[in-house]
């Protein structure tokens, strides 16, 4: 399996212990992923297809999903879409684990709400590190946890919720972190590289083009007219700036 060698050595278990749902139809890869996550201190529930994933997740809420894309029946992209459309599951991070390596597939995964993208063959050590990185983003407590009220927006770092005109909008972990970072640095022009360093640090598959995808998704959720944004302004060739409407 190439670089998919077993993970060895002692590891530090996360606290509290997290449950990861692994949806992978290749039994060898599923065993490899489960073994290394369990060795790293995670609980794991494995599925060979997407058929019962949503119902099981509603019964026992996981901390993270790892989805193969090429699954029998419902593929990983469709399953991701279903998760993001299920209110109680919509904020749970999703990592794609797949042999699909094209930029088109990576961008599609992002557009559907994926948080990371690991290609096969993979290093189990890197896979565990990426899982921890995504979960760290979820648990991160900001230095300034007060609610940000900007125009019709209310951004609450403590609960990771966003409201537009009093109505809650659903965001993924990465979407929230990006919006929060832009809002906390409102008025400043931030380059795509600065945003990558601030929000994605240890996620190598995210590119400057990925930032554009995330901003487009945020505009669809918070802007009255995404084609003429009043909050998330583009500075062509440079990056983005958060503005508070007057």
Highest mean pLDDT among 9-18, 183-192, 199-208: 183-192
Confidence at 202, pLDDT banded by 50, 70, 90: low
What is d(CA 40, CA 18) in angstroms, rounded to the nearest whole number? 11
CATH number at residue 180: 1.10.10.10
Domain that includes residue 50, residue range: 19-139
Same domain for 119 and 182, yes or no, is no
Helices and strands of the chain, counted as H and E runs: 8, 12
Read off the CATH number of the domain in which 28 is found. 3.40.50.2300
**Average per-residue pLDDT in the chain?**
85
Domain C-terminal end among 139, 164, 180: 139
| Pairwise CA distance, residues 63 & 232, whole Å | 30
Question: Residue with structure tokens 């279903």?
Answer: 82
Looking at residue 13, what is its pLDDT? 46
**Tens digit of each residue's pLDDT (9 = 90 or more) over 32-69:** 999 999 999 999 999 999 989 999 999 999 999 999 99
Is the pLDDT at 208 greater than 80? The verdict is no
**162 and 56 in a common domain:** no
Exposure on the CB side of residue 11, measured as CA atoms within 13 A: 18
CB 77 within 8 A of CB 112: yes
Q: Is pLDDT at 10 greater than 50 in this prediction?
A: no
Last residue of a domain, one of 91, 116, 139: 139
The total number of structural domains in the chain stands at: 2
Same domain? 81 vs 108: yes
- pLDDT per residue as tens digits for the range 109-151: 877 888 888 888 888 998 998 898 888 766 554 445 688 999 9
């Amino acid at each position: 399996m190439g670089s998919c060698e077993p993970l060895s050595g002692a590891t530090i278990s996360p606290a509290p212990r997290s449950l990861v749902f692994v949806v992978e139809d290749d039994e060898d890869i599923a065993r490899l992923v489960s073994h290394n996550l369990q060795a790293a201190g995670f609980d794991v529930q494995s599925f060979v297809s997407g058929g019962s994933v949503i119902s099981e997740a509603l019964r026992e809420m996981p901390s993270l999903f790892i989805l193969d894309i090429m699954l029998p029946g419902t593929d990983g992209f469709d399953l991701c879409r279903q998760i993001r459309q299920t209110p109680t599951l919509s904020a749970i991070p999703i990592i794609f684990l797949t042999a699909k390596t094209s930029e088109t597939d990576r961008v599609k995964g992002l557009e559907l709400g994926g948080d990371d993208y690991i290609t096969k063959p993979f290093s189990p050590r890197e896979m565990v590190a990426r899982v921890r990185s995504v979960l760290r983003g979820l648990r991160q407590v900001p230095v300034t946890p007060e609610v940000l009220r900007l125009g019709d927006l209310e951004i609450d770092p403590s609960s990771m919720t966003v409201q537009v005109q009093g109505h809650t909008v659903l965001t993924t972990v990465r979407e929230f972190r990006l919006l929060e970072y832009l809002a906390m640095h409102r008025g400043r022009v931030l380059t795509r590289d600065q945003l990558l360093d601030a929000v994605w640090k240890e996620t190598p598959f995210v590119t400057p083009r990925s930032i554009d995808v995330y901003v487009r998704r945020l505009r669809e959720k918070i802007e009255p007219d995404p084609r003429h944004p009043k909050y998330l302004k583009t500075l062509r060739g440079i990056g983005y700036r958060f503005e508070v409407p007057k």
